[in-house]
Protein backbone atom coordinates (compact mmCIF):
# COMPACT_ATOMS: atom_id res chain seq x y z
CA UNK A 1 0.00 0.00 0.00
CA UNK A 2 1.34 3.46 -0.93
CA UNK A 3 1.72 5.89 1.91
CA UNK A 4 3.63 9.12 1.49
CA UNK A 5 6.66 9.64 3.68
CA UNK A 6 7.43 13.05 5.18
CA UNK A 7 8.86 15.85 2.99
CA UNK A 8 12.24 15.42 4.67
CA UNK A 9 12.43 11.81 3.52
CA UNK A 10 11.56 12.79 -0.07
CA UNK A 11 13.98 15.74 -0.18
CA UNK A 12 16.89 13.98 -2.00
CA UNK A 13 14.66 13.42 -5.04
CA UNK A 14 12.83 16.73 -4.86
CA UNK A 15 13.24 17.46 -8.58
CA UNK A 16 10.01 19.35 -9.29
CA UNK A 17 8.28 21.73 -6.83
CA UNK A 18 4.86 21.04 -8.32
CA UNK A 19 5.32 17.31 -7.81
CA UNK A 20 6.46 18.03 -4.25
CA UNK A 21 3.19 19.93 -3.65
CA UNK A 22 1.13 17.07 -5.11
CA UNK A 23 2.97 14.57 -2.91
CA UNK A 24 2.28 16.75 0.12
CA UNK A 25 -1.45 16.82 -0.72
CA UNK A 26 -1.54 13.02 -0.76
CA UNK A 27 0.56 12.56 2.38
CA UNK A 28 -0.76 9.80 4.59
CA UNK A 29 -3.27 8.54 2.05
CA UNK A 30 -3.05 4.83 1.29
CA UNK A 31 -3.06 3.75 -2.37
CA UNK A 32 -1.88 7.17 -3.50
CA UNK A 33 0.22 6.21 -6.53
CA UNK A 34 -2.51 6.39 -9.19
CA UNK A 35 -4.07 9.61 -7.84
CA UNK A 36 -0.60 11.18 -7.71
CA UNK A 37 0.15 10.18 -11.30
CA UNK A 38 -3.19 11.61 -12.43
CA UNK A 39 -2.54 14.86 -10.57
CA UNK A 40 0.96 15.22 -12.02
CA UNK A 41 -0.31 14.65 -15.56
CA UNK A 42 -3.26 17.00 -15.03
CA UNK A 43 -0.90 19.70 -13.80
CA UNK A 44 1.94 19.28 -16.30
CA UNK A 45 0.27 17.57 -19.26
CA UNK A 46 2.63 14.60 -18.88
CA UNK A 47 4.80 12.79 -16.34
CA UNK A 48 8.41 13.94 -16.74
CA UNK A 49 11.17 11.44 -16.02
CA UNK A 50 12.56 13.40 -13.01
CA UNK A 51 9.17 13.02 -11.30
CA UNK A 52 9.50 9.22 -11.21
CA UNK A 53 12.29 8.96 -8.58
CA UNK A 54 10.63 11.75 -6.62
CA UNK A 55 7.35 9.82 -6.48
CA UNK A 56 9.10 6.51 -5.86
CA UNK A 57 11.06 7.91 -2.91
CA UNK A 58 7.99 9.48 -1.36
CA UNK A 59 6.03 6.22 -1.64
CA UNK A 60 8.96 3.99 -0.62
CA UNK A 61 8.67 2.10 -3.89
CA UNK A 62 11.20 1.42 -6.60
CA UNK A 63 11.46 3.51 -9.75
CA UNK A 64 10.67 0.33 -11.69
CA UNK A 65 7.38 -0.04 -9.85
CA UNK A 66 6.37 3.53 -10.66
CA UNK A 67 7.49 3.12 -14.28
CA UNK A 68 5.50 -0.12 -14.43
CA UNK A 69 2.28 1.61 -13.41
CA UNK A 70 2.88 4.50 -15.81
CA UNK A 71 3.52 2.18 -18.74
CA UNK A 72 0.60 -0.14 -17.87
CA UNK A 73 -2.01 2.60 -18.26
CA UNK A 74 -2.16 4.04 -21.78
CA UNK A 75 -3.61 7.23 -20.32
CA UNK A 76 -0.28 8.33 -18.85
CA UNK A 77 2.09 10.30 -21.07
CA UNK A 78 5.88 10.29 -20.70
CA UNK A 79 6.41 12.89 -23.40
CA UNK A 80 4.97 16.39 -23.64
CA UNK A 81 1.58 16.51 -25.34
CA UNK A 82 1.19 17.92 -28.83
CA UNK A 83 -0.09 21.47 -29.08
CA UNK A 84 -3.41 20.20 -30.50
CA UNK A 85 -5.06 16.94 -29.43
CA UNK A 86 -7.17 15.36 -32.17
CA UNK A 87 -9.37 12.35 -31.48
CA UNK A 88 -11.30 10.74 -34.33
CA UNK A 89 -14.23 8.45 -33.61
CA UNK A 90 -13.64 4.91 -34.88
CA UNK A 91 -16.92 3.38 -33.73
CA UNK A 92 -19.60 1.89 -35.99
CA UNK A 93 -21.86 4.83 -36.75
CA UNK A 94 -18.94 7.04 -37.69
CA UNK A 95 -17.35 4.26 -39.73
CA UNK A 96 -20.60 3.91 -41.68
CA UNK A 97 -20.56 7.62 -42.46
CA UNK A 98 -17.04 8.08 -43.79
CA UNK A 99 -15.11 7.79 -40.54
CA UNK A 100 -12.47 5.49 -41.99
CA UNK A 101 -11.59 7.93 -44.76
CA UNK A 102 -11.63 10.76 -42.25
CA UNK A 103 -9.25 8.86 -39.95
CA UNK A 104 -6.86 8.14 -42.83
CA UNK A 105 -6.96 11.80 -43.83
CA UNK A 106 -6.21 12.79 -40.25
CA UNK A 107 -3.36 10.29 -40.01
CA UNK A 108 -1.76 11.54 -43.23
CA UNK A 109 -2.13 15.13 -42.12
CA UNK A 110 -0.57 14.51 -38.71
CA UNK A 111 2.29 12.54 -40.28
CA UNK A 112 2.99 15.40 -42.71
CA UNK A 113 2.91 18.08 -40.00
CA UNK A 114 5.52 19.22 -37.55
CA UNK A 115 6.24 16.81 -34.71
CA UNK A 116 4.48 18.00 -31.59
CA UNK A 117 1.91 20.05 -33.53
CA UNK A 118 -1.05 17.62 -33.57
CA UNK A 119 -1.51 14.25 -31.90
CA UNK A 120 -4.05 11.76 -33.22
CA UNK A 121 -5.87 9.14 -31.17
CA UNK A 122 -8.87 6.95 -31.89
CA UNK A 123 -11.93 7.18 -29.67
CA UNK A 124 -14.93 4.90 -29.62
CA UNK A 125 -18.11 6.97 -29.72
CA UNK A 126 -18.37 10.59 -28.72
CA UNK A 127 -22.14 10.47 -28.32
CA UNK A 128 -22.67 12.20 -31.66
CA UNK A 129 -23.71 9.13 -33.65
CA UNK A 130 -26.69 10.90 -35.25
CA UNK A 131 -24.25 13.45 -36.63
CA UNK A 132 -21.42 11.16 -37.69
CA UNK A 133 -18.57 11.27 -38.33
CA UNK A 134 -17.37 13.02 -35.20
CA UNK A 135 -14.05 14.21 -33.83
CA UNK A 136 -12.80 15.90 -30.68
CA UNK A 137 -10.21 18.67 -30.88
CA UNK A 138 -8.67 19.81 -27.61
CA UNK A 139 -11.68 18.47 -25.73
CA UNK A 140 -14.32 20.11 -27.98
CA UNK A 141 -16.58 17.81 -30.03
CA UNK A 142 -17.33 18.45 -33.70
CA UNK A 143 -19.96 16.65 -35.77
CA UNK A 144 -20.49 15.87 -39.45
CA UNK A 145 -16.80 16.31 -40.07
CA UNK A 146 -15.45 15.98 -43.60
CA UNK A 147 -11.73 15.98 -44.46
CA UNK A 148 -12.09 19.60 -45.58
CA UNK A 149 -13.88 20.57 -42.38
CA UNK A 150 -11.21 18.79 -40.35
CA UNK A 151 -8.49 20.80 -42.09
CA UNK A 152 -10.35 24.02 -41.28
CA UNK A 153 -10.86 23.00 -37.65
CA UNK A 154 -7.17 22.16 -37.23
CA UNK A 155 -6.18 25.45 -38.86
CA UNK A 156 -8.44 27.29 -36.42
CA UNK A 157 -6.94 25.35 -33.50
CA UNK A 158 -3.46 26.33 -34.67
CA UNK A 159 -4.49 30.01 -34.76
CA UNK A 160 -6.02 29.89 -31.26
S1 LIG B 1 -20.05 6.20 -33.28
FE2 LIG B 1 -18.96 8.03 -33.55
S3 LIG B 1 -19.96 9.40 -32.22
FE4 LIG B 1 -20.94 7.52 -31.84
Interval 99-106 mean pLDDT:
97
What pairing do the DSSP bridges indicate for beta strands 118-123 and 140-142? unpaired
63/28 same-domain check: yes
What pLDDT, on a 0 to 100 scale, did the predictor assign at position 14?
53
Task: Centre a 10 Å sphere on the Cβ of residue 134 and count the other Cβ atoms it contains.
Answer: 26
The string of pLDDT tens digits covering residues 110-146 is 999 888 899 999 999 999 999 999 999 999 999 999 9
Question: How close is the Cα of 75 to the center of ligand 1, in Å?
Answer: 21
12/39 same-domain check: yes
Name the pLDDT band for 15 (thresholds 50, 70, 90).
low
Indicate whether 10 pLDDT > 80: no
The string of pLDDT tens digits covering residues 29-65 is 999 999 999 999 999 999 999 999 999 999 999 999 9
Tell which atom from ligand 1 comes closest to the C-alpha of 93. 1
108/152 same-domain check: yes
What range does the domain containing 150 cover?
84-159
pLDDT > 90 in the chain, percent: 79
**Closest Cα to residue 16, out of 68, 65, 52?**
52
Backbone angles phi, psi at 158, to 5 degrees: -65, -35
| Residue 79 belongs to a domain | no
Interval 73-86 mean pLDDT:
92
Indicate whether 92 pLDDT > 70: yes
Question: How close is the Cα of 121 to the center of ligand 1, in Å?
Answer: 14
**Closest Cα to residue 87, out of 136, 149, 142, 157?**
136
DSSP 105-120: HHHHHHHHS-TTTEEE
Decide whether any atom of ligand 1 lies within 6 Å of the 91 Cβ: yes
What pLDDT, on a 0 to 100 scale, did the predictor assign at position 12?
42
Residues at the binding site for [2Fe-2S] cluster are 89, 94, 125, 129
What pLDDT, on a 0 to 100 scale, did the predictor assign at position 28?
87
Minimum mean pLDDT among 26-30, 61-65, 150-154: which range?
A: 26-30
Decide whether any atom of ligand 1 lies within 6 Å of the 94 Cβ: yes
pTM, 2 dp: 0.69
154/119 same-domain check: yes
Which CATH number covers residue 95? 3.40.30.10
Amino acid sequence: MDTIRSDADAAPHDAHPLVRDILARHAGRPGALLPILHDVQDALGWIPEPAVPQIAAALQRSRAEVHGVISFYGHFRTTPPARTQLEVCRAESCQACGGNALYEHARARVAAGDPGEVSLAPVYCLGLCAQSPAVMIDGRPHARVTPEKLDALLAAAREA
